[in-house]
Structure 1
Amino acid sequence: MRVEDGRMIDTRGGAGRGVLSAPAADAGLGICVAVTLLAATVAGVGPAVPDARPLDAGAVVLVVAIAAAIAVRRRHPVVALAVLDVVPVVWFLAPYPGRLVALAPLIGCYTLAALRGWRWGAAGAAGTALIQILAIRVVLGDVETVGVVPDAVLLTATASSAGAAVGYHRAVLAATRARHARETQAREERARRLAAEERLRIARELHDVVGHTLATASVQAGVGLHVVDRRPGQAREALAAIKTICDDGLTDVRTILGILRDDGPAEEPPAEPRAPRGGLDRLTDLVDPAEAAGLQVELEVDGEPRPLPAPVDLAAYRIVQEALTNVIRHAGARTVRLALTYEPSRLLIRIRDDGLRSAAGTPCGHGIDGMRERARALSGRLTAAPHPDGGFEVCAELPVPGTR
């Protein structure tokens, strides 16, 4: 239900509980009013009408018209009120006994105001009051009109006011329900969006951890296979490096997947931290395996290193991790230059390799897209493209909030 230009408009589309039962209820009300009017007339309830004619088929037709008007009052409130206003005039002109028929238009006034608003209700009440005055003058004459007219006007005004109040009350309830429904839908959509973002974040973390672990382990395994017969000691070092790399990777995977599980006893603290490991303070965990794989890493730090917010620190670590993984897997490079620049309001990361296949063999997986998403999530930016002087270069700019 909503209000437009003083009109009450039902927006429930027939799905509400009251909409389905309204026609039957109105038909029942119309029958009850008709039977009551006939019974009151037969019993002589109300003031007597001089020279009244007995009830006949005409009276039954008028009563049936009242019942029909009440039955359709919700669908056609204006027509129903018009019929309910005309019937008493015809009833009194007949004249049939009984004056309770003059109360029937009050139902139409109430319904019109409840469904169409106070403007329509006021217009309907004014018209009904005029018709009531006419009917009273016809039946009672000028002498008694002066005392009865105020009562008729007061009754129509009261019925119309009650209908308008009920209509606005229904509109407020409908608006409140609609607002609650919108809020509930917004909360559900936000929960779904957050769940999707969390799944994407976990997938990105798993991609970075597993990709880096498998790439460095594969390189170390290749080294071990190459020297296992001639230099067993170096092969053992390669196997030890593979074990260390895999252990660290499994620890990171358990930490990431632990975020999805919360079924442990509440009194037992988690064995691993409830956030993915990673930060520029662990940069050697990335550089050492890369160097062990035969890649020379040149690390340059410009500016004063300082603690970074956790999201920025983790994003920087993952970007460096993914970039080094791509160099190991795709570049065929011998040297990679890693430059970190700490500025007052941002962190700049630049990773450039000297690989010969970088221009023609740009990685086609999701690693670069994942790095871009990490930077974009922090309102930063990332570019990854072949360098004009050869090799491949990844440049990331990460804003550092809370600094000047």
Structure 2
Amino acid sequence: MTPRRDPAPYADPAMFTSSPFPEPLFGAGRPRWLRWVPYVVAFGFTASLLPSTIVVLGGDYGMNSGLAGALGVAQTLPLLLAVGRPLQAWWVIFTADLAAALALAGIPAAPGTIWPWPPPTIVGYLALALALGLRERRRVLLGVWLATGAAGILFGLLRPARSDATWLLLFVLTGVVLLLAGALRERGDARRQLAEQETISEAERARRTLLEERTRIARELHDVVAHHMSVITVQADSAPYRLQGLPPEAAEEFGTIAATARESLGEMRRLLGVLRSEESEQQHGGPEKAPQPGLDQLERLVEGTIRAGVPVELTLSRALGELPPAVGLSGYRIVQEALSNVVRHAPGARTRVSVTPDRTGLTVLVVNGPPPHAAEPLETTGTGHGLVGMRERVRLLDGTLDTGPLPDGGYRVAARLPLTEPPTGKDPTRA
């Protein structure tokens, strides 16, 4: 993984902003005993460095005992905070280290002492650098490293005769610790991201398997239903020849049944063509290229609904003119699905269908009243797929859809379809 190159950190005001990681080290998805390891390590450093720092500052350097105690506490106790908030701990410790160096600069140098950073200060600072490298971002680490070097250089300029190479030693060692700890953290981040990607890939594979299974079921359903529809078509076509003495009305009804069955077969073949895989389309020439229905077939659709026992009043503007194919198909499908819902859930209910265009769009309105008291719905529950299909068609055209029950017990479906081409990449004719 190629790390992202940050802009110049010294120009970033957020250089010393704490990392957004809220959990302590080893705090996520780890055994409980492992979560306590950083605290135990931090407590060990604090317990060992606190008395040694006070003794070195007060005894070896000759600092006032009270000041030595205060600075020793400020330089070591925040190491406990470094487990969860290392940058905040760095601010406290770094400030205390600067204060100690300034205080020592005013005290005569004792033999064998080093300045500006006494040995306990170096050890505690490196422990803090380890916590920083494991938690903070690159630019924060770079800012800490540069601040450490700048402080050493300033003290060298302040007291050149007193300063020695300890500032350079701390500068180099801090850079090494920050680099190694940061690399270790980034390696852990990369492993976690890889695990997340594997989890996402597994979910995508499961979703693809589910979609393939649904496609297979749809094809099998097509085969089963197509067989029965074919039988209905043949029986309806041959009924006038097999049954002698049929009234003309009955023969016409059989013809209508046969025509409806053939139309349903065509619709199912188009649906199957959409469900075919790319490989099947290349082998068999793609889905059927039969014309899609449009608003000019609404009258035929309404006549079929009336024959099913639903009184429908159609208001179809004669000023439709040339509509975009996607708009005409979507309008037809919305009316078709709305009338199918009336037949299934409110058989016999009076229904009004209105299709009205204007300069900017097409308004489709289907309103049905309550079903007659004597009529029982063919279905008492539904899957909701019809409404989902309506919403998807309207969404692909950037239109609006309003559906819902009416106070009198009826139902209303109102769609507004803009007279524009669908956005790039959307094809409502295949919805």
When the two structures are superposed, what TM-score results if normalisation uses the length of structure 2?
0.48
Q: Which residue of 2 aligns with 1:400?
A: 418
Q: Distance in 2 between matches of 1:367 and 1:16?
A: 40
Q: For 1:4 and 1:284, how far apart are their aligned partners in 2?
A: 72
Q: 1:356 to 1:270 in 2, by over 3 A?
A: same
Q: Indicate the SS of the match to 1:348.
A: strand
Aligned match for 1:154, one of 168, 171, 174? 168
How far did residue 74 of structure 1 move? 5.1
> Which TM-score applies when normalising by structure 1?
0.50
Q: How far is the alpha carbon of 1:170 from its aligned partner?
A: 6.8
Q: C-alpha separation between the residues in 2 aligned to 1:402 and 1:194?
A: 33
After superposition, the Cα gap between the structure-2 partners of 1:124 and 1:23, relative to the gap in structure 1 and judged at 3 Å, is farther
Deviation at 1:338, TM superposition (A): 3.1
In the alignment, what sits opposite 1:242? 257
CA contact under 8 A between 1:346 and 1:397: conserved in structure 2? Answer: no
Q: 1:381 aligns with which of 402, 405, 409?
A: 402
The alpha-carbon distance between structure 1 residues 295 and 86, as it changes in their structure 2 partners (threshold 3 A), is: closer
Report the Cα distance in structure 2 between the residues aligned to 1:364 and 1:384, rounded to whole angstroms: 15
**Conserved? CA contact 2:402–2:415, under 8 Å:** yes
Does 2:371 correspond to 1:320?
no
Of residues 97, 100, 122, the one that matches 2:94 is: 122
**Cross-structure match for 1:140:** 112
* Selected match of 2:320 from 304, 312, 333: 304
Corresponding residue SS for 2:340: helix
- CA RMSD, aligned part only? 6.3
Q: Which amino acid aligns with 1:286?
A: L
Distance 1:171 1:133, change over 3 A: farther
Indicate yes or no: 2:382 matched with 1:366: yes
Change (3 A) 1:354 1:140: closer
Contact 1:6 1:120 in 2 (8 A): no
Percent identity reads 23
How far did residue 342 of structure 1 move? 0.9
Distance 2:374 2:250 in 1: 33
**Unmatched tracts of structure 2, length 5 or more:** 1-14, 62-75, 115-158, 422-431
Amino acid aligned to 2:415? E
SS of residue paired to 1:340 = strand
Aligned length: 318
Go from structure 1 to structure 2 and tell me whether the alpha carbon gap of 1:371 and 1:73 turns closer, same or farther (over 3 Å shift).
Answer: closer
Q: Secondary structure at the match of 2:403?
A: strand
State whether residues 384 and 393 of structure 1, in contact with CA within 8 Å, keep that contact through their aligned partners in structure 2. yes
Partners of 1:256 and 1:291 in 2: how far apart? 26
Equivalent residue, structure 1, for 2:72: none
Gaps spanning 5+ residues in structure 1: where? Answer: 27-70, 94-107
8 A Cα contact 2:314 2:354, kept in partner: yes
Q: CA deviation at 1:370?
A: 3.2
Matched position secondary structure for 1:307:
coil
Asked whether the 8 Å contact 2:362–2:416 carries over to 1, the reply is yes
Cα 1:284–1:360 shift into 2, 3 Å: closer
Computing the radius of gyration from Cα coordinates, the structure with the larger value is 1
2:353 partner SS: strand
The residue aligned with 2:362 is: 347
**Contact map agreement 1:341 1:348 (CA 8 A) in 2:** yes
Cα distance in 2, alignment partners of residues 156 and 352 from structure 1? 82
Report the Cα distance in structure 1 between the residues aligned to 2:373 and 2:388, rounded to whole angstroms: 18
Kindly indicate whether the alpha-carbon contact (under 8 Å) linking 2:403 and 2:412 is maintained by their aligned counterparts in 1.
yes
